[in-house]
Structure 1
Amino acid sequence: MKEQKNRMVNERDYKPDANYVAPDPEKEKIIIALAGMITDRYVAKLTHTIKPDDPEVWCLDEVLTKEEAKMLLSFKKTRVNLQLEEIAERNNMSCEDAKKMLDHLAWIGVIETNRENEDHHIQYDVPIFVPGIAEFMMMNDELVKQHPNIATFFNLITQMPLEGITPMVPLGGAGVGMHVIPVEKAIEAVNDSIPIEHVSHWLDKYEGKLSIGVCTCRRQQAMRGEGDGSVEQECCIGLGDLAEWCVNTGRGHYITKEEAIAVCERS
């Protein structure tokens, strides 16, 4: 992994062994292909220059088996919804076995579910790394205890996609990266806010299907010896199908709209 002089890391961050040799070359090849499919680093994606010591590779290699990586690769693209039957067929598996593997992949945080279809049944997709897999893995208490290097992965993968282009991004972001929605009081002095810029718009829309989970940013900073010393707390709110997924995979619990508003005001 080529180091960037402005990359924010510290002595507690994981660094892959420069002399590491993969014990399973076939798995390494599959993982590199999967990392290329998911990565938000579009130069590396388009030029097929993902390396074995890149964070996308060593992190996925830690948490996935070769068979799980193959299943994820069978999706071919991120954020494409597939039905259970199609996933099973693509992987020459029974629906029962495919469902079992998908459930475990969802627990890890590399498969997401939603009900964005006519009869609102569960379907599956592979999220991108940020926002997506990086946060989902950090929200899994047991997983980060088993694989503490995920904290370093989270730290790096939130920085690397915008390296080299951040100075060119105009004020407001131009749709690049994540968008911050201000809490209502922060909007009072703004004359041109629109409904979707208000937290209340989203809380009203998904009332009855809101969840809350641990703050992934605070968690990764604490694990890496950084942060302001504040205790880890629940302040990441899930909306709609994401809320259902978070609850089903043990990443959070349902809350009311009033509780969500209190979290926004506190945070």
Structure 2
Amino acid sequence: MAAKTAQGTNPNYPLRPDCADVSGPMLPNVAKLGKIITDRAKIKLGLQKVTKDDPEYWAVKALVEDDDDLAKWIIDNFKEIRHPRTFAELKASSGLSDEELTEKLEKISYAGIVEWNYEDLDPKWPNPNHEKRWVLPMYVPGSAEFSNMNQDMIAKRPELGMFFEHMTRLPLEGLTHMVPPGGAGIGMHVIAVEKEVDMNETSIPIEHISHWLDKYEGRYAASPCSCRRSRMTYDEGCADDFNDWCVAVGDMAEYVVETGKGGRYITKEEALEIFKKGEENGFVHQITNIDGEDKIFAICNCNVNVCYALRTSQLFNTPNMSRSAYVAHVEKEKCVACARCVEVCPAGALTLGQKLCKKDGTEVQYPKQPLPTDKKWSEADWNWDYRDTNRIETHETGTAPCKTACPAHIAIQGYLKLAAQGEYTKALELIKKNNPLPAVCGHVCNRRCEDACTRGTVDEAIAIDEVKKFIAMRDLNAETRFVPKKVIPKVKGAFDEKIAVIGAGPAGISCAYYLAEKGYKPTLFEKNKKPGGMVTYGIPSFVMESEIVEAEVDVLREMGVDIKLGVEVGKDITLAELRKQGYKAFYIA
């Protein structure tokens, strides 16, 4: 039975997924190696034995390819985690020849259960000559991530996706509320968008992307995001392409390229372009936080809805786990309560719909989420539904009444202000963030926004719909229409996956519009000779001319949407036939 909490329902991820094969006798060395590496306190301290259902067993079994002798070899030659060993030391302890040892190290490095580097940062294990040394890493950061970066590994052993989920959560369930600001060497550290801290005289070097790129000059590799790939294995993906979002630096750049982790060497300019694209998509830059301020091994571009490091903070309601040194605040004198900042914030950092003051200027007091420092912390305080609650309008009174009343929730104050300034294209762009058919809707809108307009309490409501129609009619002219810039959650190119949108009414058109904006090339199937559905065939011409619908649809064509008219799916062509043609997803509008 899933546990009910004040913050949603525990999805109750299985401790051992069905795809993890544990048939056959228990492999004792696999279990022992799993215990050596784990951070789960009860298992580490011997208070709980490793069973076949524990990820310390079935995941390590996958990493050593069911070879108990290989697990014993790793135990005998590495003994403990994060203890670096040179080739000469491993040769002496194992008794293998150079060729045999090289083959063994390549195999376990490929699997990700061992990593290597040349660093000399730990006084406990000095390396003044910067020899190559092999290390038995933690699970996270470490082998759980490395295995999910390896496409062949994750395809062959999909249980490794759930393994990564478990080892970012299970060891921390009882600890996160005790983590102080800065993370105390646990998890990740969020760093700001570079342009936002350039002029900040109080910022320190480690808060800048440029500092780390300069530190590891010329040693960068774009590699797959293990979080995105892991989530895909159990159907909690985010539609981002997983390739290239993790920029490995220093020794790690070489490791992810040379050991089958999907890495590729890149230049500094290419790295900066990846960070720029990440910022356009609303991704969060994070750096590793386990080796102090002198070392990182990657800069990530994290999607809040799938990143395990950010998930830890949000799930456990413990901000310190991945806190940034920079905290956003609202300038009251500039805020008009449009709530756009809230809606686009990927982390849900702002309370949606929360206004700052009443009409008379007095403060509005809203309930706040208690933090671990405020009370005794328990599972009842976790937020299992964080992926959904990030974007919920929690306080209806916080946004302008016109926007709250609008079914499409368009930022009405914003486009009215832009229109007043003569910025008609920008106003149209703002409208289309929530409604790709502004001209159509402008002609048939029942004007709930005007009913709610507070100006009506003074004299009469603002003619909001007339302003919107005026702005939207720019789409009728090819020279003035707004075609959105594509913001693609993929580092290189667009998406190749074919998507069929069945029905070219308002819902189908909207779906195709936003898919195209994200870099897909959807195909829109419509059984009639004209697109638009009831908008075309149900609204008389004295209310709205057909040219308006055609103009809005022309925007789709300019975005690369293929529109097939006179094709009835289910009669002229079946879903099975579309699948044979390579279509991977279907939206039935």
TM-score over 0.5 for the pair = yes
Select which of 216, 239, 244 maps to 1:206: 216
AA in 2 matched with 1:261: L
Out of 217, 226, 229, the residue aligned to residue 219 of structure 1 is 229
CA distance in 2, matches of 1:24, 1:171: 45
The residue that corresponds to 2:264 in the other structure is: 253
Query: How do residues 68-79 of structure 1 correspond to structure 2 at under 5 angstroms?
Result: 68-74=70-76, 75-79=78-82
Looking at structure 1, the residues matched to 97 and 30 of structure 2 have their Cα atoms a distance apart, in angstroms, of: 24
**Paired residues, what number?**
262
1:172–1:121: structure 2 CA closer, same or farther, 3 Å change rule? closer
Aligned identity (percent) is 38
Question: Bigger CA drift: 113-122 or 100-109?
Answer: 113-122
1:174 Cα deviation from its structure 2 partner: 2.8
**Aligned residue for 1:239?**
249
CA displacement, residues 83-127 of structure 1 (integer Å, 9 cap, x when unaligned): 122223323322321221111000000111111233333211111
Of 107, 111, 116, the match for 1:113: 116
Residue 23 of structure 1: aligned partner? 24
* Matching of residue 174 in structure 1 with residue 168 in structure 2: no
| In 2, Cα distance between equivalents of 1:172 and 1:149 | 32
2:185 maps to 1:183 = no
Shift of 1:71: 2.3
Distance 1:71 1:82, change over 3 A: same
Q: Structure 2: which amino acid aligns with 1:102?
A: L
Question: Structure 1 residue 222: deviation in Å?
Answer: 1.7
Matched, 1:146 2:156: yes
The answer to whether the 8 A contact 1:12-1:224 is kept is: no
Structure 1 unaligned regions, length at least 5: none
Equivalent residue number for residue 175 of structure 2: 165
Tell me the C-alpha RMSD between the 2 structures: 2.7
User: Hey, what's the Cα distance between the residues in 2 that align with 1:43 and 1:191?
Assistant: 46
User: Structure 2 regions of 5+ residues with no counterpart?
Assistant: 120-126, 279-589
* 1:14 Cα deviation after fit: 4.9
Mean CA deviation greater in 91-100 or 74-83: 91-100
Deviations 1:125-167 (A, max 9, x none): 1111101111100000111111011011011111111111222
Contact 2:140 2:168 in 1 (8 A): yes
What is the alpha-carbon distance in structure 2 between the residues aligned to residue 51 and residue 16 of structure 1? Answer: 18
Amino acid at match of 2:35: G
* Displacement of 1:33: 1.3
Q: For 2:141, what is the secondary structure of its paired residue?
A: helix
Flag the 1:47–1:10 CA change in 2: closer, same or farther, 3 A. closer
TM-score by length of 2: 0.41
More helix by share: 1
The answer on whether the counterparts of 1:36 and 1:44 sit within 8 Å (CA) in structure 2 is yes
Listed one character per residue, the Cα deviations across residues 182-212 of structure 1 (whole Å, up to 9, x for unaligned) are 3313435866431112111111111211111
| Partner secondary structure for residue 158 of structure 1 | helix
* 3-state DSSP of counterpart to 2:30: helix
Letter of the 2:71 partner, please give it: A
> What is the TM-score normalised by the length of structure 1?
0.87
Q: 1:174 to 1:120 in 2, by over 3 A?
A: closer
Which entry has the higher C-alpha Rg, 1 or 2?
2
1:87 equivalenced with 2:97 (yes/no): no
**Structure with more contact order per residue of length (Cα contacts < 8 Å, sep ≥ 6):** 1
Per the alignment, in what secondary structure is the counterpart of residue 264 of structure 1?
helix
Q: C-alpha displacement at 1:16, in angstroms?
A: 5.7
